[in-house]
Every structure is written in structure tokens, then in C-alpha cells.
């Protein structure tokens, strides 16, 4: 017999054909292809999971299985075949094609419900080789598609038992449901989007914390300019949080410099001076006075001078100068020194 001669054979209820001259293999009269489960097809699934991740791969396989099953079910539905007759015929076809053994535990056409039991399916065999502990999604999704096509209504499933979890078989319960593969795809996309948003929020939060810490470090630094004379430049606008931080930092760190004079340089303050800012000045002055430190203020703007004058705080003990140079000269003079 010619090796290129076409051949056909029936196995159980399945019909197979070969056309070597055309390089084709037929299953039920349609083009098909063969894979080795332990190597080629396992590698195929491993690659999908490696590229897309386990969660995405699970949805992809479930969706693929469902849509493939829907083709089968819709074929018989369009042929107006009896669902009960079809469901009794399918186990022989699928087992002959190497899908594993299928038992119909329960089937109700009126309620559109079914319980199917599969043993040693190709998906179970591959999942076992992969070392997985949870059932796959292709096979149960596939039968959901078959039944959806047969009943002309969307059918979904619930896994009742799994061989991968030590049971003797995989058992799936099927029933009418609003759950669809498209919704599962969208839900996966939403979950992934939420994960990415959470990652971004975490990065933003961490970066904000780092910047906040950096601002605290560089905001209003205590600068020793000469022996026992320090300067604190005040920059920008001070809200309650910044004011509290500055006050605490000054009280805790100022004694480390052993100063006799503290010069507050307000040249860089925001032009809109609030009552909170004026209150900050007086709290700083009061706190440093208790530490035995004299306070000098320099760089006061006309707006700040008006605010200080209108405030209820006593300002007679404070020395004011136009700029930092004058303030330093004054402090040196008080100590009996001068710059030559």
C-alpha cells in the first residue's frame, strides 16, 4: 500500500482520517492536528503562563475552552439535534480523541442543568506534570460552552471535585448563569488595573514621604555663621504643620549650637503673611528666650511690619534690622566683637 494513500478509521464513535499526500489529519471530517501531551502541548501551555502570568493564562484557557465548546454545541443546536441524544453521544467521541473519560452524572434539559464527571483528562495530565495543585479551567470552560450551545442559553459551572486535589475524578456542575467569559476578561482587566493603580499609589506615597522628609531637612535649616551666632532662614508660606515642625526642630536642635543670638531671616517669606505666621514668630522668640537666647529679626517686609505692629504680642525685646549683614554686626557688637 502506498504510504501517501488516504486512510480512514472509526474508533468508538469518532471518525479519523489521514491524507499524507496533503499533510493533513482529519477528525470528524475536519482538519485537526496532533500534539504530544507530555512535551509539546505542555510546553505550549507553560509558555502561555510564562508570558501572561498564571491568572491571565487561566482566563485565557477558560475563554478558549468555552468558545471551542460553543462551536460544538451550536453545531448540534443548529442541526436541531436533541440535547439528550447529543450529550449521550459526546463521551464516546471525546474519549476516542484522547480527552479522557466523560460520565454524565446528571442531565436535565428542562432545567438546563448538568453534572459531568471527567477522569484523566488531558488537562489534568498536563497540570499534574506542571506540579499544579488546583484544577485547570479549559475543560470545565469547554463543557460550559458545549452546553451553552446545546441549550441556546448561557451556562456556567462550579467545580465540585478535582483529581489534582486528590479526588478520583473531576466533577463539574453546570447551570444557567449571567456569568460570561467576556465579563471574566473584563474583571481580569479591572483587577490588573487596580493592581497597577495600587503599585502606582504605593510609589507615589513613598516618593511623597521621601520628598516630605527631604523638605523637612532643608526647610528652615539652623545655620551657624559665627561663634554662638546662628541663623534660621524662613522660606515660603507656613501652615500649621510647617510651623509645628519648625518650632519643634528649633527647640530640640538649637541647644546643640550653644548660641547666644538667634537671627531669624524672613527675607524669603511669602508676601501673604497670615496670623499663623506672626504667631509662629512669637512662639519661636518666647521659646528661645526661655533657653537664654536673644532673638534678632532681619529682612522684614512692610506687610510683615504692619502685621507685627497690629498683633497683640509684645515686640519690644526683639531687635529688627533691614538685612542679615546688619543683624550679624549687631550680634557681634553685643559680644564686644566686630568684623575687620
The pLDDT value recorded for residue 215 is: 63
The pLDDT value recorded for residue 159 is: 95
- Residues contacting 173, CB < 8 A, separation 6+: 113, 114, 115, 157, 158, 160
Q: Between helices 54-78 and 42-52, what is the axis angle to 10°? A: 120
- Same-fold call for 35-179 versus 220-334: no
Coil, strand or helix at 187:
helix
Residue 302 vs residues 9, 74, 273, 283: alpha-carbon distances, Å: 103, 85, 11, 21
Q: Strands, DSSP E only, in the chain?
A: 7-11, 14-19, 24-27, 30-32, 101-108, 113-119, 155-161, 170-176, 223-226, 229-233, 261-265, 294-298, 319-321
| Digitized pLDDT (tens) for each residue of the chain, 340 residues in all | 456 788 889 887 788 898 888 888 888 888 888 888 888 888 988 898 888 888 888 888 999 999 999 999 998 888 888 999 999 999 998 998 899 999 999 999 999 999 999 999 999 999 999 999 888 999 999 999 999 999 999 999 999 999 999 999 999 999 999 888 877 777 766 777 776 777 877 888 888 777 766 666 656 688 898 888 999 888 888 788 888 888 888 888 888 999 999 999 988 887 677 778 788 888 888 888 888 899 998 988 887 777 777 776 656 677 888 899 999 999 898 888 777 6
Measure the CA–CA gap between 123 and 147, rounded to whole angstroms. 19
The pLDDT value recorded for residue 313 is: 62
DSSP per position, 201-259: HHHHHHHHHHHHHHHHHHSS--EEEETTEEEEE--B---HHHHHHHHHHHHHHGGGG--
The pLDDT value recorded for residue 1 is: 47
- Can you name the CATH fold of 220-334? Transcription Regulator spoIIAA (3.30.750)
The pLDDT value recorded for residue 290 is: 87
Which CATH architecture is the domain 35-179 placed in?
2-Layer Sandwich (3.30)
Domain ranges of the chain: 1-34, 35-179, 220-334
Amino acid at each position: 500500500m502506498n504510504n501517501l494513500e488516504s486512510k480512514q478509521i472509526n474508533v468508538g464513535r469518532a471518525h479519523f482520517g489521514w491524507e499524507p499526500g496533503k499533510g493533513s489529519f482529519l477528525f470528524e471530517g475536519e482538519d485537526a492536528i496532533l500534539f504530544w501531551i507530555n512535551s509539546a502541548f505542555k510546553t505550549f501551555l507553560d509558555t502561555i503562563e510564562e508570558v501572561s502570568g498564571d491568572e491571565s493564562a487561566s482566563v485565557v484557557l477558560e475563554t478558549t475552552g468555552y468558545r471551542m465548546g460553543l462551536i460544538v454545541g451550536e453545531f448540534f443546536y443548529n442541526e436541531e439535534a436533541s440535547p439528550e441524544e447529543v450529550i449521550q453521544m459526546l463521551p464516546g467521541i471525546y474519549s476516542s480523541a484522547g480527552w479522557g473519560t466523560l460520565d454524565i452524572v446528571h442531565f436535565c434539559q428542562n432545567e438546563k442543568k448538568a453534572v459531568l464527571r471527567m477522569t484523566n483528562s488531558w488537562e489534568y495530565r498536563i497540570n499534574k506534570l506542571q506540579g499544579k495543585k488546583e484544577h485547570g479551567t479549559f475543560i470545565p470552560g469547554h463543557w460550559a460552552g458545549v452546553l451553552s450551545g446545546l441549550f441556546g442559553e448561557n451556562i456556567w459551572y462550579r467545580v465540585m471535585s478535582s483529581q489534582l486535589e486528590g479526588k478520583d475524578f473531576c466533577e463539574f456542575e453546570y447551570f444557567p448563569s449571567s456569568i460570561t467569559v467576556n465579563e471574566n476578561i473584563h474583571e481580569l482587566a479591572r483587577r490588573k488595573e487596580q493592581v497597577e493603580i495600587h503599585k502606582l499609589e504605593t510609589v507615589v506615597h513613598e516618593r511623597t514621604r521621601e520628598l516630605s522628609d527631604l523638605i523637612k531637612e532643608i526647610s528652615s535649616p539652623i545655620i551657624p555663621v559665627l561663634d554662638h551666632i546662628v541663623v534660621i532662614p524662613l522660606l515660603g508660606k507656613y501652615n500649621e504643620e510647617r510651623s509645628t515642625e519648625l518650632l519643634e526642630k528649633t527647640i530640640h536642635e538649637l541647644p546643640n549650637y550653644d548660641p547666644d543670638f538667634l537671627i531669624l531671616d524672613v527675607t524669603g517669606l511669602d508676601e501673604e503673611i497670615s496670623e499663623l505666621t506672626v504667631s509662629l514668630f512669637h512662639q519661636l522668640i518666647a521659646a528661645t528666650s526661655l533657653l537664654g537666647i536673644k532673638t534678632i529679626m532681619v529682612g522684614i517686609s512692610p506687610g510683615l511690619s504692619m502685621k507685627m505692629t497690629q498683633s497683640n504680642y509684645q515686640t519690644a525685646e526683639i531687635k529688627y534690622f533691614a538685612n542679615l549683614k546688619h543683624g550679624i554686626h549687631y550680634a557681634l557688637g553685643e559680644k564686644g566683637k566686630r568684623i575687620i
